[in-house]
Structure 1
């Protein structure tokens, strides 16, 4: 299995001289099986560069798994060049929003409305299909099995586990591990804590023994104190997940948009210094870097 990061930034694209090393594009991850099946996780602005790279291997069959439909994870879809080229086959996977009851096809169609984009959906030349994913129900793409799990975020958000060729990876999308919203003295505390613990165990089981764990780590623990409930994790929560799941490599991603290369370097050095006993390899996700598992 090969993994390549095309976008590792959270919330909004941040091009410029201060984000050259780690990249300024929003979330997009390419996964290739040994048979060269193409799996894409999320369609942030990073998918545009991926599309340019795919032009040399037309026609393509691409399977795009959307974790959730916040802008920074879907805004690159209209700029994914293969959707305009005949003989390409693009399949987009995602959930049914429990609030709006909208399926994943809305992620593209709403962006191709007259007011927002110069090209209509009817003008796309590729064969485009949509598929609804459900928690715990595996999806097969060639030799790969992709298993979704619902993770905590202020909109329906799937984490995806990918198993193929004897390797495994898990991507959280945007994920804030659930906290007990009650104080210990509240009557509801014990019951809600049982729910939190059960969900934690479910998440750890979904990630168990993966070769690569890619987690939302937008904040430091100090920053998280004022951002609880925003739907994002911390570097420490990522390490806690990786340790409990026995992951081999941990990639921190969804870098906070104001985070410069210099500040990310400093955070990374602190992580290595303060976590010498962690058994998994700690890495910052970096745009353009390819990993062979």
Structure 2
């Protein structure tokens, strides 16, 4: 299994000299099995370059799994060149929105209405399909299986477990470790805390021992507890601790804050190492555009 990062920033693209080393595009990960089956995770601005790279071999087929439909995870899709080419086949997977009662196709098509984009979804030339997923659904993509699990974000967000070639890879999308909404002295505190513990145990058991995890950690611990609680993203220590509980040896931190320079990101990782936040035997690195992991 080959995993390549095409977008690793969160919230909004942040191109420029201060982000050139790790990259300024928003979320997109390209996964290719040993049999050549292609799975794309999210369609942030990084998917534009991925699409250009894919045009060397036509016609093509790929499956795009959307963790959630916040703009930084779908805004590159109108610029994904394979969608405009007859003979290509693109299958989309993601969640139904239970708040606004919209399926995946409706949500993705709306960002291509004329008030936002000059070409409508129904004018695309590739053959497209859309599948709304529920938690626990497993999709077969050639030699790979992709299974969804619900994580914690202010919209329905699926993490995806990809299993192929005897390897297991997990991507969280955007995820915040749940915190108890009650105070310890509140009557409801213990019951709610038990629900949190049960849910965390379920997720950890689901991904325990995967070969590699790509996990959201947009904030430092200080930033998070100052004013980011409830925004739907992890901080470095919480994400590393989560991976440690799941006994995962290879951890790539992603969704880098758009205001964070590459130098600042380097400084954070040096500090994490100095303070002993990275467990022995675990490799933790920042996700980097155009870097490929071979599992």
Q: Which residue of 2 aligns with 1:272?
A: 273
Q: Which residue of 2 aligns with 1:260?
A: 261
Q: Structure 2 CA distance, aligned partners of 1:70 and 1:278?
A: 35
1:122-169 deviation digits (Å, cap 9, x = unpaired): 211100000111111211101111110111100010011111111111
Q: Structure 2 CA distance, aligned partners of 1:199 and 1:122?
A: 40
User: How far apart are 1:280 and its partner, in Å?
Assistant: 1.6
For structure 1, the residue ranges without an aligned partner over 5 or more in a row are none
Q: Structure 2 CA distance, aligned partners of 1:191 and 1:240?
A: 23
| Partner secondary structure for residue 92 of structure 1 | strand
Is residue 2:61 matched to residue 1:61?
A: yes
Q: Structure 2 CA distance, aligned partners of 1:246 and 1:81?
A: 39
Q: Write out aligned runs for 1:98-247 (5 A).
A: 98-225=98-225, 226-247=227-248
Query: Does the 8 A contact of 1:78 with 1:108 survive in 2?
Result: no
Q: Structure 2 CA distance, aligned partners of 1:279 and 1:217?
A: 20
Query: Does the 8 A contact of 2:244 with 2:279 survive in 1?
Result: no
Q: Structure 1 CA distance, aligned partners of 2:5 and 2:221?
A: 25
Q: Structure 2 CA distance, aligned partners of 1:181 and 1:163?
A: 35
Query: Does the 8 A contact of 2:92 with 2:129 survive in 1?
Result: yes
User: How far apart are 1:101 and its partner, in Å?
Assistant: 1.6
1:69-127 deviation digits (Å, cap 9, x = unpaired): 00000001100000000100000100111111211112321011011111122211100
Q: Select between 269-278 and 124-133 the one with higher mean Cα deviation.
A: 269-278
Q: Structure 1 CA distance, aligned partners of 2:101 and 2:107?
A: 13
User: How far apart are 1:279 and its partner, in Å?
Assistant: 2.7
Q: Structure 1 CA distance, aligned partners of 2:179 and 2:144?
A: 33
Q: Which residue of 2 aligns with 1:282?
A: 284
User: How far apart are 1:272 and its partner, in Å?
Assistant: 2.3
Q: How does the TM-score come out when normalised to structure 1? A: 0.98
| Partner secondary structure for residue 17 of structure 1 | coil
User: How far apart are 1:268 and its partner, in Å?
Assistant: 1.4
Q: Structure 2 CA distance, aligned partners of 1:145 and 1:274?
A: 38
User: How far apart are 1:278 and its partner, in Å?
Assistant: 3.4
| Partner secondary structure for residue 31 of structure 1 | strand
Q: Structure 2 CA distance, aligned partners of 1:42 and 1:108?
A: 12
Q: Which residue of 2 aligns with 1:11?
A: 11
**How many residues are treated as equivalent by the alignment?**
293
Q: Structure 1 CA distance, aligned partners of 2:25 and 2:279?
A: 32
| Partner secondary structure for residue 96 of structure 2 | coil
| Partner secondary structure for residue 56 of structure 2 | helix
For structure 2, the residue ranges without an aligned partner over 5 or more in a row are none
User: How far apart are 1:205 and its partner, in Å?
Assistant: 1.3
1:172-215 deviation digits (Å, cap 9, x = unpaired): 10000111111111000011011100110011112210111111
| Partner secondary structure for residue 83 of structure 2 | helix
Query: Does the 8 A contact of 1:42 with 1:74 survive in 2?
Result: yes
Query: Does the 8 A contact of 1:243 with 1:278 survive in 2?
Result: no
Query: Does the 8 A contact of 2:83 with 2:90 survive in 1?
Result: yes
Query: Does the 8 A contact of 1:23 with 1:286 survive in 2?
Result: yes
